[in-house]
Amino acid sequence: MVWWQIALLVIVFGLVQLFIYDKYVQRKSSLLINYPVLARMRYVFELLREPLRQYFAEETFYESRDKVEWVYKAAKDRNLFLSFSVAQPFSGSRFIIKNANRVLNTEEVSEDFSQTFGKECQIPYVSPSVIVRSAMSDGALSPEATRSFAMGALKGKFPVNTGEGGLTSNYFFTHRPTSERLAYLESLEGTALQKGLYRLVKKLFNGAIASRLYRKLALAGTKAKDSFILDTDSLLLYRINWSAPLEVFPKTVPEDIPDIVLQIGSGLYGVRKEDHSFDPQRYEKVMRFCKMTEVKIAQGAKQTGGKIISEKVTDDVAYYRGVEAGKDLMSPNRFPYANTLEELLGFVATLKEISKKPVGIKIVISDVEQLDDLMVAIKGRKGAGGAIPDFITVDGGDGGSATAPLELMESVGLSLINSLYLLDFYLRMHQLRDKIKIIGSGKILTPDDVAIALCMGADMVGIARGFMMSGGCIRARHCSGAEGKKCPVGMATQDRKKRLSYLVLQKSHHIANYHRQLLQGLRTILAVTGEAHISKLSRKHLAFRDVRGELFFDVDTYFQNKLHV
């Protein structure tokens, strides 16, 4: 009997066994009883549906497939021109960017996309870009993805928001452990034999495999191994020593790390004491590496605290957040220092006093009365000479998340554009607009999305999903890790095998490319509108066509009729 006949017999025998089990043994699925073996294909197709959805189905979440493809092409620095027409014509309601009678050549448009936050702070922040990578936590993301974003942000010269997981070692992937920095670093070094083995394996295979082996040997017996960064020049393993005295921490943010916006969520991860209360000294140390702070009150996809299931709470995540590994991590719904608006604004003032840097809050808008209450509280504090937020981040109700309840996704909160209009309107009504910047985030992918958000009142635009896609995300929607599903590209998982396949250096270039192409596209739009600088964009550059085809050349008229403000 030849080998293929033996193989065929084994397959037939296995199918017969499976048929008997499905038909006569198992009693969990009536479908398998009626259609033994065949019904199992249903589960195979269900498993493959999300990872393969974007390749075969029509684009239903974003306006067109062209937008999604633009992100992937921009990341890989490919030609971005379209041919013949868009794949899906925009048939519904939409904004129209107005072109000028006298357009500019692209070279006549300024390359300055900077934005200043906290002008009255002791240490204001001048962002080199009007685009920030929105909050995504290390822990929800893999260590490798966080490192890639940190490298991409440093190369691309744009700020990155830590998410409520706080400032972790992976943001220091580009930070070199020089002798003067060792005072605030906890460092370890392998033996001469381990270093020699590293160099040999690197020569025979590659740096990634050599680094993996060296880390395993040098960090044997150490918990939270991935909280140490490897400097491949000195072969020193290091992480921030938060127990070091404040005076040894850098006085200014080191130039070899990206511009970091620290987000503080309801769990106070990374800035809390053992009793889970706020730790001012730890916060002051953290802010030696960050440009400004964002206090997260809510986000668009979930207006509750952050959630990470037990499979993703590794020793490293537990180390960063001060929690127990291997257990579900569900942050409180309410921020601990936001029981009243006065308490929240007092906490903002405390952070500003400690850090001397800009501090803002992140909100979701669902109701104009509550928004007005916030404005009244801020105005009252300003009138009394108290510190107020330097910026407000508003997240659209259609924002994304790695782990969120279905009942909250797109059911709570207004869309970004509506939220921007309302926030800008109420800030102006209360004479606060010149003091408070607006950051808008939610479902933004391409340069026209950014331009429209800026025209609608945003001073800066936050992007999460676009940056994820630029870093390799295929939108498999397995980010939470629930039911054994794991991110297939290693971005949003703690599964070691998947993570280690992620190409950190390559993807950091793609992330930087995406940001650069966004700014280049913005320059093109500015040229068409006849404006030479990003600061000139306003609602006058927009018209709106509703689903009935009715045109509003003054978008204020449209929104005032629509929102009744």
DSSP letters, 400-420, are --SS--TTTTTTSS--HHHHH
First to last CA, the chain: 83
**What is the number of other CB atoms lying within 10 angstroms of the CB of residue 557?**
11
Query: Is there a contact between 185 and 177 (Cβ–Cβ < 8 Å)?
Result: yes
Nearest 5°: the CA angle 125, 131, 133 is: 95
How many contiguous H segments (helices) and E segments (strands) does the chain have?
Answer: 17, 18
CA distance 275 to 327: 18
pLDDT of residue 343: 97
Distance of CA 54 to the CA centre of its chain: 21
Q: Which amino acid is residue 414, in one-letter code?
A: L
pLDDT of residue 441: 95
- What b-and-e string marks burial along 303-335, b requiring 16 or more CB atoms within 10 Å of the CB? bbbbbbbebbbbebbbbbbbbebeeebebeeeb
pLDDT of residue 265: 95
**Distances from the Cα of 263 to the Cαs of 81, 293, 299, 511, 564, in angstroms?**
37, 6, 12, 21, 33
Taking each helix axis from N to C terminus, what angle separates 504-529 and 447-455, rounded to the nearest 10 degrees?
50
pLDDT of residue 409: 67
pLDDT of residue 403: 63
pTM of the full predicted structure? 0.91
- Alpha helix locations (H) across 326-446? 341-355, 368-383, 416-429
Q: Which amino acid is residue 294, in one-letter code?
A: E
pLDDT of residue 301: 66
pLDDT of residue 491: 93
The three-class DSSP label of residue 54 is: helix
Consecutive sets of 10 residues in the chain, 565 residues long: mean pLDDT of each? 81 87 84 83 75 69 83 93 74 88 96 97 98 95 96 98 96 96 96 96 92 95 94 96 97 97 96 96 98 93 77 93 91 93 98 98 95 97 96 87 68 90 97 97 95 97 95 86 84 91 94 98 97 96 89 89 77
pLDDT of residue 107: 94
The three-class DSSP label of residue 237 is: strand
Q: Is the dihedral of CA 525, 530, 535, 537 positive or negative?
A: negative
CA distance 314 to 550: 54
CA distance 21 to 38: 13
